[in-house]
Copies of this chain bind each other. A is one copy, B any other.
Amino acid sequence: MRTVGVIGLGLIGGSLALDLRRRGFASRTLGVEKDSVAAQAALTIGLVDEVTDLDTCVKKADIIVLAVPVGAAVKLVTQILDRIGDNQIVIDVCSTKEQICRATQYHPRRGQFVSTHPMAGTEYSGPWAAQPGLFDGRACIFCDSEESDPQAVRKIEEMYAVLNMRPLYMRAAQHDVHTAYVSHISHVTSFALALTVLDKEKDEKHIFDLASGGFSSTVRLAKSNADMWVPILTQNHDNVLHVMDTYIEKMKAFRDAVATYDEDKIRELITEANKIKKILR
């Protein structure tokens, strides 16, 4: 008998609750969701067994999962840690880790907090976007796990094993640098691409007609939700800014090569970029 309480029934929280219950890790799931439409939808879809208020969830759940945008999570985490008993565990699943780890650093119940980032998702949000199997085969990063009690970490490792995730371990600061490169900048480049095309291409029919798979794939992250991404970009400010500046430099190098019809330089840049093939299938 184990109750998992999920705070925030969006794509990640909803998918997690769904699979933990279906796969038997949780015997009961509670959900907390401040948006009443989303809460009702989560119940109707069957993402959780019960929607409760925060107090009830914090009281009843053996494992409490914080799955709200990272700005809200940083504020909530210590309030929740203040109220749990000795056998409860709190985890977060946020996309930036330095601030939430710093916020909990000196909390007397720090050992009962496990900071994780399951690297899975889609460009959609809300309980409607939740899906079974979302996490299967993906990586899950445990941050600063040496600050957590070993038995708490073990329990959460077990939980992610049920979701078929590969565990990785790193410092929160290191996590935030890496994700700036392999996730945050991708979103920003997609947002900028959407803005560029929307700005110039007033004839929407043509965007749709001419868009082949390539455009759809580079622009799809531009559908991502502002509630989630505003706090990610501001919390991971320094890293994101650094990567954006590098990106703008690369873009300008490309632009200048095109501007001057410098075919050798364009070829060199493309050939260099092609090396991504060796890393990503």
What is A's interface to B at a CB cutoff of 8 Å? 119-123, 138-139, 141, 166, 168, 178-179, 181-183, 185-201, 204, 206-226, 229-230, 233-234, 237, 240-241, 243-248, 250-252, 254-255, 258-259, 261, 263, 266-267, 269-280
Contacts and interface: CB of A to CB of B under 8 A. Distances in A.
A65 B15 CA distance: 49
Contact of A226 (B230, B251, B258, B274): B274
Contacts of A272: 194-195, 198
B273 A194 contact: yes
A241 B259 contact: yes
A262 B142 CA distance: 30
Contact of A201 (B181, B219, B255): B181
A208 B121 contact: no
Contact of A254 (B123, B188, B204, B246): B188
Nearest to A118: B212
Contacts of A138: 212
A240 B258 contact: yes
A238 B198 CA distance: 19
Nearest to A216: B280
A275 B221 CA distance: 12
Contacts of A240: 258
Contacts of A121: 212-214
Contacts of A190: 218, 273
| A-side interface mostly | helix
Which of A194, A222, A273 has the most CB atoms of chain B within a 10 A radius of its CB? Answer: A273
Nearest to A209: B139
Contact of A222 (B185, B252, B273): B273
Contacts of A275: 194, 198
Given A210-B182, A217-B221, A255-B248, A226 B270 contact: yes
Given A220-B217, A223-B277, A251-B188, A212 B269 contact: no
Given A181-B200, A258-B237, A261-B234, A276 B217 contact: no
B234 A207 contact: no
Given A190-B273, A208-B279, A270-B224, A251 B254 contact: no
B263 A210 contact: no
B244 A258 contact: yes
A220 B276 CA distance: 8
Contacts of A204: 278-279
